[in-house]
Amino acid sequence: MKKRKLQNLGMLLIIALIILGGIFATGYIKGWFHKNESFVVSQKTGIVTVERKGLAYQIKQDNDIQKQDILSTNSTSTAEISKDGQPFLWLANDTSLAVKKEEPAVFQITGGEVFADDRTSGQGVDVILQKAIVHAKEAVWSASVQKGSLSICVYYGKVSVDGLQEEYTVAAGEQLSVIQKSDKSQETEVIRMQAVALNDFEMGRLLLLTGDGFCFSKEDIDMVKQKRENDKVKAQQAKILADNTSEQNEEEASEETETREKKSASDFSIKRKTKTTDLDTETKTKAQTETEEKESETKQAGTTSQEDTKQQKKTQESQKPQKPDTPEETESTTPPAPTPTEEQEAKTYCTIEIRCDTILNNMKALTAGKEGYVPADGTVLAVSKVEMKDGDSVFDVLKRACDLADIQLEYSYTPIYESYYVEGIHQLYEFDCGSESGWMYKVNGWFPNYGCSSYKVKENDEIVFCYTCNGLGADVGGGTY
């Protein structure tokens, strides 16, 4: 009995050692026992993965990164890397970064786009981009690596680039562009940058930086961003108008085809009637001829009595052919072409607008990485005229407008209430800007206290979806619930 207990105890000890060994191995790989205060993933949005010692897993915020680590973002995620507690490197969507060396810092970008600001550390950073190596110190710059090409843009200070056919110095306001040709030769060019050439990732980072010496002012960037938002709004409205017009034209064409088919059927009926009338006339004429021949034979025989003669006259009169229809009478039998009813001709419209301008006053509370979804003036969709169908709800109009304007919309259905709930519009969701934030709607200036799928729209209604950040609607005029 005692021996059996010892065997069980030994087995438990072995199991415990295996578990501890697994925990130790996992911790070693994930860096639980390696505290690197130099590089930390200080902020991230979406799923960011790290490949370490052959094992890939999702990295969490405030986790450190080590030498030989490969950090990757996907199409909807971003990452911020801090050095000694100071953010200095940002990864855009679909970017892969490898840590080649920790001291001094050396990174390699195998694809995607990064933005760097190393003004505060004073230690500098080297970044490998294909064959090019960027040496930066106290500079603000960005780099994009695509298949067969790369570009380096400098906004503050200057960087040096070697590893190419010659060494280049790129100063603020300049862009170095390298294109790989089909014969494997490189075409390298340094050009002046323009604010209109900045992409959304670059503009978003630059608008958060302060200080003098930048090649673009915030006013220049704001102007470009505002113009892009205006162009986007105009394109949305034009698309909605074009789709509405297309639907109307299709309906009119369908009605015209239906009218043409009905008229063709009517004409065919008239032709059949006319043909039948002609046939009857021919039959009656033949009967008259036969009667006249019989009458002639009777007279020649001289045997017809007076009464027979009268009877013959009556028969002759009854068998006289009827006068055929005149063209005027035939035309009068043509039924009038069907005309569209007033209900078919009438189109009913309402207007809809989507705004999130309250977020502009609460950017510090906004979830990191959502800045790019907030338009410069807070307008997601300007006031747009949308055709409404009979029985439409506010939700139906919102969905139709978002579909036509290519605006992201996410919603859920609650069977118990038989209603739809709007979770997010334009990638902005409930609680993205504080614990009291989310989407609300109003119709003709009134905020209903029930779901948007329960409100039936009337002609010329003015619908507005607005994002509230504080007071459960108090900041958009809706009061509190």
Sign of CA dihedral 300, 304, 310, 314: negative
DSSP string, 267-323: HHHHHHHHHHHHHHHHHHHHHHHHHHHHHHHHHHHT---HHHHHHHHHHHHHTSPPP
Angle at 88 between CA 86 and CA 90, to 5 degrees: 125
pLDDT value for 418: 81
pLDDT value for 41: 92
> Of all helices (H) and strands (E), which one includes residue 234?
helix 218-301
Cα–Cα distance for residue pair 374/366, rounded to 1 Å: 10
pLDDT value for 155: 96
* CA nearest neighbour of 106 among 38, 154, 60, 15: 38
Residue type at position 36: N
Task: Report yes or no: 370 and 435 within 8 Å, Cβ to Cβ.
Answer: no
SS3 content of the chain, % helix, strand, coil (to 5): 35, 30, 35
Given its phi and psi angles, is residue 426 left (phi above 0), alpha (psi -120 to 50 degrees) or beta?
A: left
* CA nearest neighbour of 198 among 330, 325, 92: 92
Residue 385, strand partner residues: 351
pLDDT value for 370: 85
Task: Report yes or no: 365 and 338 within 8 Å, Cβ to Cβ.
Answer: no
Task: Report yes or no: 88 and 81 within 8 Å, Cβ to Cβ.
Answer: yes
- Spell out the residues 6+ positions from residue 34 whose beta carbon is closer than 8 angstroms to its own: 28, 64, 66
> Quick one: tokens of 60?
């969490």
Q: Which residues of 31-66 are buried (b: 16+ CB within 10 A; e: fewer)?
A: beeeeeebbbbbbbbeebbbbbeeeeeebeeebbbe
Angle at 76 between CA 234 and CA 468, to 5 degrees: 60
pTM: 0.58
- Spell out the residues 6+ positions from residue 281 whose beta carbon is closer than 8 angstroms to its own: 321, 322, 324
* CA nearest neighbour of 38 among 89, 114, 108, 73: 89
Task: Report yes or no: 134 and 141 within 8 Å, Cβ to Cβ.
Answer: yes
Name the one residue in this structure whose structure tokens are 């509370």: 365
Name the one residue in this structure whose structure tokens are 């949305």: 236
Cα–Cα distance for residue pair 128/386, rounded to 1 Å: 51
Name the one residue in this structure whose structure tokens are 């290519």: 406
* CA nearest neighbour of 48 among 83, 25, 80, 26: 80
Give the dihedral of Cα atoms 126, 127, 132, 137; nearest 10 deg: -40
- Spell out the residues 6+ positions from residue 109 whose beta carbon is closer than 8 angstroms to its own: 95, 96, 97, 127, 128, 129, 143, 145
* CA nearest neighbour of 403 among 420, 425, 370: 425
Query: Within the chain, which residues score under 70 in pLDDT?
Result: 1-3, 20-37, 121-123, 243-345, 479-481
Residue 468, strand partner residues: 438
Cα–Cα distance for residue pair 350/400, rounded to 1 Å: 12
Task: Report yes or no: 420 and 357 within 8 Å, Cβ to Cβ.
Answer: no
Sign of CA dihedral 65, 71, 76, 81: positive
